[in-house]
Amino acid sequence: MRRFVNCVLIFLLILVSFSFLHTQAKYDYTWVFGSNALTLPGSEGSIIKFSDAGIDTIYQQLPTNIGSENISISTIEGDLIAYSNACDVYNSDFILMENGQDINPGDVHDNQCIVGNYGSIQNSLMLPDPAGLGVYFYHKTIESIATNFGSILSGFEVLYSFIDIAENSVSKKNVSIHERGQHISGYTEAILHENGHDWWILEFSEWDSIPMSQGDSLLYVFIIDEDSIYFHHEQEISNVASLYTDCSAGSQSTFSTDGTMFAMYCPLSGLDLYDFDRSTAILDNHRKLDIPSTYLYSGVCFSPNNRFIYVSNGDKLWQVDLEDESLEDGLFLIEDELEIINGYTSNFAKMQLGPDCRIYMNSTNQRPNLHLIKYPDKKGLACGFEQQGFKLPHFCQPASLPNFPHFRIDEDEVCNPALVASVFEFPVEVVKGLDVHPNPTSGELTIELPDIMSGLLSLRDVAGQVVFTLDLENNNEIMIDLGKYDAGMYLLEVINESGERFVERVVLVD
């Protein structure tokens, strides 16, 4: 029996290792946040770095803030290429990219970019060039208009800039591709074309900006192909209320992870769900669910398996089960009370599916954490929602969260839960890796530390129980014998005197 268990463990380790080695598009593996530095110049930042080893959260000094426009892109291997706050473009060294200044020129840029916040929310995207030469940066100019909620920032002109990767510079900047109409803020989304290399970008007009003779409301569709980015077509759609001016900026849209559905939510009008055709970029089969809210800001996100849609609207988080007979039957309230945690209360706003299959959610408050839906594929409270469950090294700006498309939509896995959990669902969030060998091991294990350090080494079993500890005193290499422990998966953790955490999985066999 023990030999069978050992074979299963080795097979599972090989399976996990193979999934790690399989080439995946990791354009969304680096997230950048930045907030005011009270005693330092520029901004203090938090970097979330996903990798096959786990998740690394890093404190980083930045030249300026990153507000509610938070845009970034990494290489296919997951290393940061560029990021922006819709004011300027910065490179992987966190300095201004050549010719990266003065994105979205105009009065709003002049008035708001002084503090590093262009003011709009999720109006921008960075997408890989199908020709492989660089990055397309899609963005919109905005201006302030008066609405029932006060002053709302609305988009009026669609622009693009182009980042030349080889030259590490912005080679084209603020090129106009669409001026018609008043573009609503907050619904900008992209999805990979069915051909596997071009990109569709969806944009919407505000309902009260269009003459009634043109129809109720319009979807504008842009395409990025090997030659350029340009306007492709428009489509009349019927959900007028969701495109009303007061929905601007406070709303969000998203695609399902298989690209067959498109959802958008405005707290004033409810949830709108469409079928989507990736070959034509046409929305069809409109369904609607009223989820009223007194909050302006909200979010929406599909679960990785596309069974559930999550909707956040300030002080409430909802789950909609699409397997029920109707959207109304599938509606379930996950949370309706804001908790005070470590002295902070954070409301529920935009959402983003992470490469680790967890859903991250921001708030409209400046906080050093994000909300977390740990198991979004599970029904009801089993989804594991945790308020302020993901801690950042520093504060992030209000409503700041990257807006990524599903970069792995045609791959076997759109996300990889193994980034934070083993096959036994033993949570592992890795700050830095360790070099351990042999692994698997029958007993003796050599641990090479990245530097000479003092601190504490501990070993945990799959139940999370500490089975072994060792004090470190200026060690660089350690040898331990695990022969007396049962075969299985273990977590090896080292925390040095500075509080840095190093983690590695270890498999013990007979």
Last residue of a domain, one of 419, 437, 459: 419
**Is residue 241 in some structural domain?**
yes
**437 and 308 both lie in a single domain:** no
- Looking at the structure, tell me whether residues 143 and 38 fall in a common domain: yes
Within the chain, what is the greatest distance between any pair of CA atoms?
A: 80
Give domain status of residue 70, yes or no.
yes
176 and 298 both lie in a single domain: yes
Asked if 344 and 451 sit in the same domain, the reply is no
What's the confidence (pLDDT) of residue 14?
37
Domain that holds residue 461: 427-508
The total domain count for the chain is 2
Last residue of a domain, one of 392, 419, 446: 419
The H helix count followed by the E strand count for the chain is 3, 33
Identify the pLDDT of residue 216.
Answer: 52
What is the number of alpha carbons within 13 Å of residue 38 lying toward its C-beta?
2
Same domain, 183 and 285: yes
Tracing tokens 């900006």 back to the chain, one arrives at: 209
Q: What is the pLDDT of residue 464?
A: 59
- Check: CB of residue 320 under 8 Å from CB of residue 330: yes
In a domain, 18, yes or no: no
Indicate whether 233 belongs to any domain.
Answer: yes
Decide if 188 contacts 214 (C-beta within 8 A).
Answer: no
Model confidence, pTM: 0.78
User: Do 311 and 448 fall within a single domain?
Assistant: no
Which residues fall within 8 angstroms of residue 137, CB to CB, at 6 or more apart?
A: 71, 82, 84, 89, 103, 124, 125, 126, 160, 161, 162, 163, 170
**Same structural domain for residues 84 and 34?**
yes
DSSP label of 403: -
Q: Are residues 278 and 352 in the same domain?
A: yes
Query: What does the alpha-carbon distance between residue 321 and residue 327 come to, in Å, rounded to a whole number?
Result: 7
In a domain, 383, yes or no: yes
Q: Quick one: 403 and 313 in the same domain? A: yes
Cis ω for the linkage preceding 440 (within 30 of 0): yes
pLDDT at 253: 95
Token duo for residue 285: 């089969």
Q: Kindly give the confidence (pLDDT) of every residue in the chain, 510 residues in length, as a single tens digit, with 9 standing for 90 and above.
A: 545 444 444 444 333 333 333 358 999 999 999 987 666 677 888 999 998 878 888 888 899 999 999 999 999 999 999 999 999 999 999 999 999 999 999 888 998 898 888 878 888 999 999 999 999 999 998 876 544 444 455 567 899 999 999 999 999 999 999 876 677 878 999 999 999 999 999 998 876 544 433 445 789 999 999 999 999 999 988 766 677 777 777 899 999 999 999 999 988 889 999 999 999 999 999 999 999 888 888 999 999 999 999 999 999 999 999 999 999 999 999 999 998 887 888 999 999 999 999 999 999 988 889 999 999 999 999 999 999 999 888 888 888 999 999 999 999 999 998 787 433 344 444 456 678 999 889 999 999 988 888 888 988 876 557 889 999 998 889 999 999 998 887 878 888 887 777 878 788 888
Q: Are residues 391 and 442 in the same domain?
A: no
Half-sphere exposure of 265 (CA within 13 A, CB side): 31
- DSSP string of 200-225, one letter each residue: EEEEEB-GGGS-GGG-SEEEEEEEE-
pLDDT at position 154: 58
Task: Please tell me what DSSP assigns to residue 314.
Answer: B
Position 125 in a domain: yes
Q: Distance between alpha carbon 252 and the CA centroid of its chain, in Å? A: 13
From CA 477, how far away is CA 438, in angstroms rounded? 14
Torsion of CA 212, 215, 218, 223, to 10 degrees: -120
Residue ranges of E strands in 278-316: 282-289, 299-302, 308-312
**Are 141 and 285 contained in the same domain?**
yes
- Assign residue 451 the CATH number of its domain: 2.60.40.3080
Here the tokens at position 407 are 């970069």
257 found inside a domain? yes
The CATH number of whichever domain residue 85 belongs to comes to: 2.130.10.10
Q: 289 and 412, same structural domain?
A: yes
Select from 374, 397, 419 the last residue of a domain. 419
* Residue 405 within any structural domain of the chain: yes
Rounded to whole angstroms, the Cα distance separating 404 from 16 reads: 25
Single out the residue of 284, 311, 296, 285 nearest to residue 244, CA to CA. Answer: 296
pLDDT at residue number 143: 73
